[in-house]
Amino acid sequence: MEPKKERILAMFQNEEKEVLWDVHICKADNKCVWCHKELPKGSECFRVKNGLMHIECLKFREGLRPAWWMAERLGISSSQFLRIATQASLKHDNCYTTRFKTFVYLWDPGLVERLKDAPEVVQARVRRDQRKRKEG
């Protein structure tokens, strides 16, 4: 019998792509490697490199986006987004290290909706537009 599959929208090589993941059935009680909560025997989950993960946890993790993606949606630059996030004490949800030994912070895309009308984002958008008009 073919394993059940779940569709997940993930970032791959800086593009959003739909990926099919095989659903795994726990054969014993485990813990999710993302949230560390229980994964009871018989529950559906995903196998990942370092263990098992709730389906919802993996969908959340794969749904996280880099600063440039967030900035693009907000109409500001990546550096403006990172500065606003720092000033607002917003924490990234995950990160990874590139082959150049730099960190790429990953953020919940829900932040775009919460920040789009924030005064600091609106001001950053205005500054960016003014700079573009001067250059162009």
At 9-57, the pLDDT tens digits run: 888 778 889 999 999 999 999 999 999 999 999 999 999 999 999 999 9
Q: Are residues 39 and 88 in the same domain?
A: no
Q: Are residues 69 and 129 in the same domain?
A: yes
Q: Are residues 71 and 92 in the same domain?
A: yes
Q: Are residues 55 and 69 in the same domain?
A: no
User: How many angstroms separate the Cα of 106 from the Cα of each of 67, 70, 118, 120, 136?
Assistant: 7, 9, 20, 21, 32
Our count of domains for the chain comes to 2
Q: Given 14, 39, 63, which residue is the final one in a domain?
A: 63
Instruction: Specify the pLDDT at position 2.
Output: 79
Q: Are residues 84 and 121 in the same domain?
A: yes
Q: Are residues 58 and 70 in the same domain?
A: no
Q: Given 63, 79, 97, which residue is the final one in a domain?
A: 63
Q: Are residues 54 and 69 in the same domain?
A: no
Is 0.85 topped by the overall pTM? no
Domain residues for the domain of 34 are: 5-63
Q: Are residues 51 and 73 in the same domain?
A: no
pLDDT in tens, 46-73: 999 999 999 999 999 999 999 999 999 9
Burial, 22: exposed, middle or buried (Cβ in 10 Å; 0-12, 13-18, 19+)? exposed
Q: Are residues 112 and 83 in the same domain?
A: yes
